[in-house]
Amino acid sequence: MQIQSKLPNVGTTIFTVMSQLAVEYNAINLGQGFPDFMMSEELVSLVNAAMQKGNNQYVHMNGLPILRERLAAKCNKLYGSNIHPESEITITPGGTYAIYTALTTVLQPGDEVIVFEPAYDSYIPNIEINGAKAIAISLQFPSYQIPWDEVKSKVNSKTRMIMINSPHNPTGAVLSENDIAQLRAVVKDTNIIILSDEVYEHLIFDNITHQSILRFPDLLERSFVCFSFGKTYHCTGWKLGYCIAPKELMQEFRKVHQFNCFTCDSPKQFGLAEYLQNENAYNNLGAAIQQKRDYFRSLMKETSFKCIPSHGSYFECYSYQGLSDLNDKDFAIHLTKNFGVATIPVSAFYKNAEDNKVIRFCFAKKEETLNIAAEKLSSFIK
């Protein structure tokens, strides 16, 4: 039987490819972004207790009300927003789903969406499956800043959305106040909708303030903002997140959501609602993960790889310029097979596989894991 592919140019995601290779070659997996340390045992107990108490049936299609209330209170306190839990928050099965649903809610065939590359690998396929066109703009290498003049030159009457992601995967770049001012200038007097991927909101380092779109009412009124519990609570396998958007946009989002997912895992929502009362759990996260970044960086100093500093996320990128002539994908495969460390080649985040000889490491790992990886990497000399 034959069908016409909706995504003819798409293969298997690089995260799965590299994780599989890591298993096959028994390599340390610093590729796919997930922690190898235990999540909060308190949160695990809260979810267990919710199941024991019988909270195992469908909750409200938009998410457990008390969870949405506590999320709204958290955001309003952290970002000075005025989010209404009933009409402006929807719990989703992960951040990726929230992003896909927001794009599907808005896009019509022929629309253009500005995305910055390197871009998280789901963005462009999510745009294209909706019949829209991704207008990819490369972040400036190696600072990975947004070239705003180029953005201005690419905006036209077909531009329907702009996607931003801060802290940024894979580079760890973060948006500044100036970036927000530039974004404001670009969207002013247009119908452009912003999709802000903020799954790493708490994983931000060096005393930098997260420039959440939730801080800016004039931008939030035209935005979908996507979050992930998996990243905040080190439980990526739970696949739970949420989307925040103004009422009118959220109404349309929920029409798409209700016939795709309808409602998410209930015991975890009960557990998360309780655990959200513990403000330290998210407020201390940046410092804890920064320690891991700093530790990893100190180990990498002893290797031949050159650091491209990360200011947020689970990731730091390193250049191997001058160390090998292989392209980054082949280099990542070579490192996995022959040196026992799996990474992600950054060209996988570009539509045309732009290769700057950069690979991404996930440092959200136990020190012992990072030690072994660094030891293996230090044996890599041209």
- Answer yes or no whether residue 171 interacts with ligand GLN by CB under 6 A: no
Per CB under 6 A, the list member of 15, 141, 295, 339 interacting with ligand GLN is 15
Q: Could you say which of ligand GLN, ligand PMP, none residue 267 binds, taking C-beta under 5 to 8 angstroms by partner kind?
A: none
> Whole-number minimum distance, CB 382 to ligand GLN, in Å?
27
| Whether 30 contacts 361, CB under 8 Å | yes
For ligand PMP, which is the closer residue by CB, 186 or 203?
A: 203
Between CA 311 and CA 118 the distance in angstroms is 16
- Answer yes or no whether residue 33 interacts with ligand GLN by CB under 6 A: yes
Instruction: Give the CA angle between residues 237, 120, 169 to the nearest 5°.
Output: 80
Closest alpha carbon to 270 in 48, 50, 31, 98: 50
- Answer yes or no whether residue 201 interacts with ligand PMP by CB under 6 A: no
Between CA 117 and CA 253 the distance in angstroms is 26
Q: Which residue type does 273 have?
A: A
- Tokens 């958290």 belong to which residue? 74
> Whole-number minimum distance, CB 243 to ligand GLN, in Å?
17
- Answer yes or no whether residue 340 interacts with ligand GLN by CB under 6 A: no
- Answer yes or no whether residue 79 interacts with ligand PMP by CB under 6 A: no
Q: Which residue number places its CB atom closest to ligand PMP?
A: 94
Count other Cβ atoms within 10 Å, centred on residue 208. 15
Per CB under 6 A, the list member of 228, 303, 310, 336 interacting with ligand PMP is 228
Between CA 115 and CA 151 the distance in angstroms is 10
Between CA 82 and CA 214 the distance in angstroms is 9
Q: Could you say which of ligand PMP, ligand GLN, none residue 15 binds, taking C-beta under 5 to 8 angstroms by partner kind?
A: ligand GLN
- Answer yes or no whether residue 223 interacts with ligand PMP by CB under 6 A: no
Binding track, positions 54-93, relative to ligand GLN; x by CB under 6 A = ----------------------------------------
**Residue 242: helix, strand or coil by DSSP?**
strand
For ligand GLN, which is the closer residue by CB, 172 or 271?
A: 172
Q: Could you say which of ligand GLN, ligand PMP, none residue 228 binds, taking C-beta under 5 to 8 angstroms by partner kind?
A: ligand PMP
Closest alpha carbon to 226 in 359, 108, 91: 91
Per CB under 6 A, the list member of 88, 117, 121, 197 interacting with ligand PMP is 197
Per CB under 6 A, the list member of 27, 30, 32, 92 interacting with ligand GLN is 32
**Residue 195: helix, strand or coil by DSSP?**
strand
Instruction: Give the CA angle between residues 64, 69, 71 to the nearest 5°.
Output: 95
Closest alpha carbon to 225 in 129, 52, 62, 83: 83
Chain residues binding ligand PMP by CB under 6 A are 33, 94-96, 120, 165, 169, 197, 199, 228, 230, 236, 239, 241
